[in-house]
Amino acid sequence: MSDQGPDATYQAALDRGEFRLQRCGDCGGAVFPPRVLCSHCGGASLSWHRAEGLGTVYSCTTVRMQPKGEAPYNVSLIDLDEGVRLMSSVTGIPSDAVRIGQRVRALVEQRGTAGILLFVPVEDKP
Ligand SMILES: [Zn+2]
């Protein structure tokens, strides 16, 4: 194991194009943001695994304060099926079209050498 902190481990995975979450070996809970101790039970046996990345939009906002010429962007809170809530952005559709309750899937986009976590809409299976 490397001695880098959990935030650096998380970002390093994104930089490789992988969305990873921590899971607690003691209580089984998913942990986000990255931590040293489990946010549910305080246990220290956290391990990294590749996230499924499916979730539901919990809340969404359109940010219009942008430099001239740049499109407004979307800031959403996403509830992952894996049990954590995180802040991200839904892309691939106009920000105004993002709806609370919409199903989304994680997508890692490379910007330079950095991986950025975004979400794209998915069709809900009946
Ligand atoms: Zn735990």
Residue 37's pLDDT is: 96
* 17-37 tens-digit pLDDT: 999 999 999 999 999 999 999
Side-chain half-sphere exposure of 111, counting CA atoms within 13 A: 5
- CB of 19 closer than 8 Å to CB of 48: no
DSSP 39: T
Identity at 7, one-letter amino acid code = D
In this model, does residue 48 exceed pLDDT 90? yes
If you measure from the C-alpha of residue 119 to the centroid of ligand 1, how many angstroms do you get, rounded to a whole number?
27
Across 92-120, b (16+ Cβ under 10 Å) vs e yields eeebeebeeebbbebbbeeeeeebbbbbe
Give the Å distance between the CA of 17 and the centre of ligand 1.
27
Long-range contacts of 94-99 (CB under 8 A, 24+ apart): 95/60, 95/62, 95/63, 95/71, 96/62, 98/57, 98/60, 98/74, 99/57, 99/60
| Two tokens, residue 20 | 């990873």
Distance (Å) from CA 86 to ligand 1 centroid: 18
Quick one: pLDDT band at residue 98, thresholds 50, 70, 90? very high
Nearby residues for ligand 1 (ion, Cβ within 5 Å): 24, 26-27, 29, 38, 40-41, 43
Q: Which two tokens stand for residue 16?
A: 């490789």
Least confident of 20-24, 59-63, 66-70, 92-96: 66-70
